[in-house]
A and B are shown apart, each in its own frame.
Chain A
Amino acid sequence: MLNTETAIRKILIANRGEIALRILRGCRELGIGTIAVYSDADRAALHVLEADEAYRLGPAPATDSYLRGDLILDIARRAGAQAIHPGYGFLSENAGFAEACEQAGIKFIGPSASAMRVLGSKTRARQAADAAGMPRTPGSVKGLVSLDEAFIVAEEIGYPVMLKAAAGGGGKGMRAVFTRDELGVAFTAAGSEAERAFGSDEVYLEKLIERPRHIEIQILADEHGNCVSLGERECSVQRRHQKVIEEAPSAFVDEDLRRRMGEAAVRLAKSAGYTNAGTVEFLVDEKRNFYFLEMNTRLQVEHPVTELVTGLDLVQLQIRIAQGEALPFKQDEIRLRGHAMECRVYAEDPDQGFFPSPGKITRLLQPGGPGIREDSGIYEGWVVPLEYDPMLSKLIAYAPTRDTAIARLLRALDEYVIGGIRSNLGLFRRILSDADFQASRIDTGYLDRLLSSKDDSAQADKDSEAIATLAAAIFESMRPSNGNGGNHTAKQSEDNAWKRTARREGLRL
């Protein structure tokens, strides 16, 4: 079935961090060669260490390295890659880059540039949703031409409303508007924020769904007209519109809703001639009405939870689709089994307003054992660069039930130590221990409510504090500089510090 002319023997991975490593592993299992690319900030990164070949792109800023499609294509050509996997972020949703790959005769592992253009713009995707007969939030399907038009649309659908950037993502260019008086200011602010972030000030209006759940459908489409849905992921635990915990399946979705959402997602993908892996995002209200939100035309960060409950390898299926194979299964062969949950581990400090915390990882103990998967790109001694997204790893648990998946994550979090930089591991302990989360009483506002409530989990435990104090004292007593004949350099720097202190205090040495 596989045409040897289209067979992929070598793939360039146009990304970094955990996803570059994830793709590399998928390739290696298929016997496909891997090419890593890296910026100056990533010479010591794991994906560079593990790849079969690795090439420098340029200086640290993404615009000089991971966003340089021209350099990446050039490397792919010279190194003899048949395909480029873009991962997520960077060039993954850049239709211009997908087109350049097509023209260079190198397969872009993802949808065609034309399908990406239809579904990548939120307003055009809303038009496609209408054409595919799928429910979406009430509101405009084109960019608003004026504030007057915004007032008319808002009046029509009723407040509260959401202003959104057509080219948007990650919450940028987005404003909730609760009354008529707020619309003018919000309209200008959303437009200029969108212009700055995406180079387009096109904004549109939609009805604000109160207390929605964020539930998305994973689809796979081959190049022979077959398209299947792989069930849903719930990603309602969010902060600043960024997902924090994702799970599959959703505790809120029953068999009937899953089928209806899946069919709607497949209809949309087929209507746009979509191929490869994609995700259709929905908001679901308390009455289980679902509304199309947007489509992500790439592999998602949270794809592992779908892999675990379906038993499929999405990266490998992406590659097989890209080399022209037909999907090896039909919709009725897809079975969901068990429950999977993912924590996005970030280099940020939850105690200091989630301030990013790049720097050297001086200590790393990673969890393992039954049902635990950790997709990471870090190691002890690695310096987390400040130029990129601060995600360190994804901690994923798989178990027969949701309760056991939570218990597994809590157990793994106890094993996990990331030292030298701050991380949000403690935040997960708090969420996973929360009664509302455990009962799946969640919506996209859940985490903000939890964070504004008092944190009982941080209550001082005198016993463990005493043990920690004792351990600190024992570690200090082991330091060579404290004992006899200590480490020379440590001793010297201590002497210098002593001298500096003395000088500052006007003592004479």
Chain B
Amino acid sequence: MEPLLEVQHLKKYFHTGYGTLHAVDDVSFRIPKGSTLGLVGESGCGKTTTGRSILRLIEPTSGEVIFKGRNVLRASPSELRALRAEMQIIFQDPYSSLNPRMTVSQIIGEPLLIHRRVAEKRELEQKVRELMEKVELSDRLYGAYPHELDGGRRQRIGIARALSLHPQFIVCDEPVSALDVSVQAQILNLLKDLQEELGLTYLFITHDMSVVKHMSDIIAVMYLGQIVEMAPAEALFKKQLHPYTKALISAIPLLEPGGWKDEGTLKGELSSPIDPPPGCRFAPRCPMVKPECTEKDPPLVESVSGRFSSCVRAKEMV
């Protein structure tokens, strides 16, 4: 199927006093229209930077982002403003992502004013109320301030704001990480319902393996700025073709007696993303490391039909 969004060789380097930090290092993927790509990885692996680079909230160092055939990274400021009506983002922290000086209705209505989608006050009010209904926010909260509401309701405001311009693509940047588990489920189901109803395409960023399993069609696993494995969600959970993915999935606690066995928990911590040496980024922690792993960056290749892995020993794991 024709992809709605295609990311090619996206790179974002930060120049620090200690060297060049490779936050996103040659990331490529495509998301078909109406589906969800789950981007997982541990803190600091570059998931968020990837999401923001696609929307140019952070200017990427190089690469291509093609959205509906248009190159986002080469868009002029006015083209970019127009594009942003079609590509939106839901933030992780529902506390800092809402302006504390604005009411719920002002926050949700602002995008409509920016893009001149409404002609008069009454139309604005009506549209804001429709959006609030869509994300199941009570009508009474129309004039409330964010600080009066709990995390779940605040996140609904963030979702309504992102939906207000009828985007086709939404970056969900850890939208439930800051919420209670019970509220997480509500928000995740809301996002799924909205996707079905409006035909949305998501890039779903999270560090929570069970959340990503619930939400995604395709899962991309990131480690130190690179995608190490990408596969359809179900296949990935059945069999992993990269030792890092294997470790991630074996770390999910299971709710049954004797269900969880220690199958080689990872030792050590994330190595430094500053001027990484050539070779597989995961090699220093890998239980299956071989001498050739540290020679050159292993490319992400199709090991089995529809499944991509960057591990040189992927074939052995099939």
- Chain A complexes with chain B: no
